[in-house]
Structure 1
Amino acid sequence: MTHSIPHNVLLDLPPFPPQRTGELADRVAALLGTKNDVLLVQGEAIIALEAAATSLARPGLKALNIVTSPYGAWFGLWLERGGSEVTNLAAENALPITFAAVEAAFEKQDFDLVALVHAESASGILNPLPEIAALARSKGALVVTDCVASVGGHPVEVHRLGIDIAVIGPQKALAGSAGLSMLSVSPAAWAQIEKPGAKEISTLSLLDLKRNWLEKGRGALPGMPSSLELHALDAALTRVEAEGLANVIARHETAARASRAALKALGLRELTPPETASNLATAIVLPEGISVPDALAAIGPNGRAISASVGAAANRVLRFQHTGRLAGFEPVVANIAALAGALNRLGHKADPGAAVNAILEVYNKASAA
């Protein structure tokens, strides 16, 4: 059966009140724990990331770009396109960067900017943002962070950590729509963006947004604002505020612990140790003799949160997601059950009862806490 949303829900939407766009930005700032300027960018978060790189890049800017996913690699390319001198520091495949590696890079030379992804939903890793941000600050470098996946799943404390640009989107842990993204910009970041050679008259220009939105009273967004996406962001923020950000993060933590306990009960090994794993997804190594395509075919449509991982390990690794609306008891149980059934059909003995008991134990402890 095909399910569709009634047309009248999506068509003829009332325009989003222009005076409320500034309120949306303030609510995002509260979510990020910052008094820095917050910009709304029309488009998926990759556009906000490219706009940040494009607006910051200048000839002579020395950037340490930490690569733990394709997004990190693209950010380095965008900085290079603007003339920056980029040192790409790549982690081992499907693993987080180590703080020691970042320290070693700073021992070789100074940098004006450090860029990294906080949490990777594709591989389930968590980079050591607090330690890296503290080191960058001590060296006088700007900190630019892709927090698209981590916001709502992990604490993202922009002021406390001293993050100069934090890019977020509502489509992951906040369980919103992907068509609008946001970023916070510190005074130090603005000072770099406003240097001679700034990108102007461009959809990738943060300076244009500053002049045409921030400095004009934060009314209607420049161009043709999408009322659908603005209403969707409003709804997502309202839901998060009603639940409470701390509770949203705790829900993701519990779902992650329960998923990993259940996967262990099924006899599966995590690719990333728990201390460097995110609350968003778990990368699991399949038993010998079972390929990713075979596993996904056996899982079928019931395991809607299970997919292939990325990178060189993708032929042996599955990604088990527990993000957004999937970070809850029922979705975790349903997907573990689908995976257990698939493993048994493929000849790997898996006990779904033991896995469900492991999930119950984690959720019972969380309820009692």
Structure 2
Amino acid sequence: MTWSPLLNPPEFPAPEYDRLGSRLGAVLETANDVVVVPGEAIVALEAVATDLGAPGYPVLNVVTSPYGKLFGQWLESSGSSVLNLFSTPGLPVTIADIEEAVDRFSPRAIAIVHGEAASGIVNPLAEIAGFARSRGLLTIVDAVASVGAEPLPVDDWGLDIVVIGPQKALLGPAGISAVAVSQTGWAALAANAAPRADLSSVSLVDIKRDWLDSDRSVIPGTPAPLELWALDAALARFEAIGLQESINAHQTAKRAVRAMVRSLGLELWAADDDASALTTTVVVPVGIDPRDLARTARGSFGALVSTGVGPGAERLVRVNHTAVAASFGSVAANVVGLLAALRRHGFAGPDRGALDAVVAAYAAAP
């Protein structure tokens, strides 16, 4: 019989499950409740929308990616009137757009994706959160592609509902997620949640009832021990690195890749202040197919390069510098692989100084 450590794993202890909430809270810099959701982050996002959406509860939903669009659809399915605020395709929303939409629509809440790995941008969440607080609006944030790589002080910014997945900068499993909820957030979820079966797989209110409000001696539902042990291990590794150190590493990787792209005379898709720390998006030179370029970079040179995703990203490739790919060695290998692929496809721009730009960015890093 073949033995595998993945078969018949031990149960995950309820006290350690309870500790996962506080450990994730430390990553998010929050004292709010943090609940673990058994499923990938899209399940947690749908759970939020399902509980929060209700007739008479209008929501301003910022759409800068397919995930933002989905969230608006889930809210509408639950009865909310939704104003979808679309940014210029592939680019961040502006605070001016938010202010105008709020004045026009009078929502009760604002929903937004913080970081967009698909197009390599971040939305101005700190500004938006400050504006929301000034208007008494609930804030719902998809932070899957920003947690651990971008500043995300949940309590300082006054964010009410924040959904995260550990599979990106935390380098954890994709089949589990978590949601941080303020007391204001819980009140809104409880007030809006529609009557349903005794147990729903997409209800944060049920998770609160069955875990937070219980004696926490039994993990609710049927726990997935492999995912829980993997999350536990990912958090241990992340804690050994440190939150600020992880953010610094991702920000340094971003600066290094962007410096290299500029040294080649290529166009960066996002402005410096709008750029993601997980991926850098590059406008592919005319005459080169982005799909062919990404295939060559990955297949021939092992570079973590892929095509952009979604409207506005058709001419883009993404250089991945997430988690372990934010290290100096990975970034150097990826930029050399991208350069080699460009050369193979006929790019004739300058290449002197490309690695020097990467070295300089890391030499100046904190």
Same fold (TM over 0.5): yes
SS in 2 for 1:282: strand
- Give the secondary-structure state (helix, strand or coil) at the position aligned to 1:10: coil
Deviations 1:321-356 (A, max 9, x none): 111111111111111111111111111125555211
Match of 2:261, SS state, is helix
Aligned match of 2:259: 261
Moved more, 310-319 or 161-170: 310-319
Q: CA deviation at 1:304?
A: 4.2
Distance in 2 between the 1:196 and 1:116 partners?
Answer: 19
Task: Tell me which amino acid in the other structure corresponds to 1:112.
Answer: R
Give the direction of change, closer, same or farther, for the CA distance of 1:297–1:193 in structure 2 (3 Å limit): closer
Show the counterpart of 1:361. 360
How many Å apart are 1:136 and its aligned residue?
Answer: 1.0
For the 8 Å contact 1:256–1:322, the answer to whether it is kept is yes
Shift of 1:176: 0.9
Which one of 16, 24, 27 corresponds to residue 20 of structure 2? Answer: 24
Letter in 1 for 2:95: F
Equivalent of 2:88 in 78, 85, 92: 92
Which amino acid in 2 is paired with 1:340?
Answer: L
Could you say what secondary structure the match of 1:11 adopts? coil
In the alignment, the residues of structure 1 paired with residue 246 and residue 215 of structure 2 have an alpha-carbon distance, to the nearest angstrom, of 32
Q: 1:118 aligns with which of 94, 114, 117?
A: 114
Contact 1:144-1:164 at 8 Å conserved across structures: yes
Aligned position for 1:294: 292
Match of 2:54 among 26, 40, 58: 58
Aligned-partner residue type, residue 110 of structure 2: V
Compared with structure 1, are the counterparts of its residues 267 and 77 closer, same or farther at alpha carbon in structure 2 (3 Å cutoff)? same
State the SS of the aligned residue for 2:213.
helix
Deviation at 1:199, TM superposition (A): 4.9
Equivalent in the alignment of 1:44 = 40
CA contact (8 A) 2:306 2:319 kept: yes
Give the conservation status (yes or no) of the 8 Å contact 2:119–2:309: yes
SS of the residue corresponding to residue 62 of structure 2 reads strand
Letter in 2 for 1:129: L
| 2:74 aligned residue | 78
Question: Any idea what the Cα deviations from partners look like across 1:214-242, whole Å, max 9, x if unmatched?
Answer: 11133443221111111111111111111
Deviations 1:118-148 (A, max 9, x none): 0111111010101111111111110000011
What is residue 138 of structure 1 aligned with on the other side? 134
Q: Secondary structure at the match of 1:115?
A: strand
Structure 1 residues 315 and 112, CA, compared in 2 at 3 Å: closer, same or farther? Answer: closer
Residues 118 and 310 of structure 2 are in contact (CA less than 8 Å); yes or no, is this contact kept in structure 1?
Answer: no
Q: 1:20 deviation in Å?
A: 1.1
CA contact (8 A) 1:153 1:279 kept: yes
The aligned counterpart of 1:3 is none
Q: Are residues 255 and 219 of structure 1, via their aligned partners in 2, closer, same or farther at CA, if it must alter by over 3 Å?
A: farther
Tell me which moved more, 154-163 or 347-356: 347-356
Amino acid at match of 2:76: E
1:246 aligns with 2:256: no
Q: Larger deviation: 229-238 or 260-269?
A: 260-269
Q: Distance in 2 between matches of 1:204 and 1:197?
A: 11
- 1:167 has 2:163 as partner: yes
Residue 341 of structure 2 corresponds to residue 342 of structure 1: yes
> Is 2:97 the partner of 1:101?
yes
1:247 deviates by 0.2
Unaligned runs of 5+ in 1: 1-5
Q: Does 2:151 align with 1:155?
A: yes
CA contact (8 A) 2:303 2:333 kept: no
Contact 1:45-1:148 within 8 A present in 2 as well: yes
Q: Which amino acid aligns with 2:122?
A: L
Aligned AA for 2:312? A
- Equivalent of 1:203, from 201, 207, 210? 201
Relative distance call for 1:67 and 1:233 in structure 2 (3 A) is same
Q: Distance in 2 between matches of 1:332 and 1:39?
A: 34
TM-score normalized with structure 1 length: 0.95
Q: Counterpart of 1:78 in structure 2: which amino acid? A: W
- Secondary structure of the residue that 1:225 maps to in structure 2? coil
Runs of 5+ consecutive residues of structure 2 not aligned to the other structure: none
Distance 1:24 1:193 in 2: 22
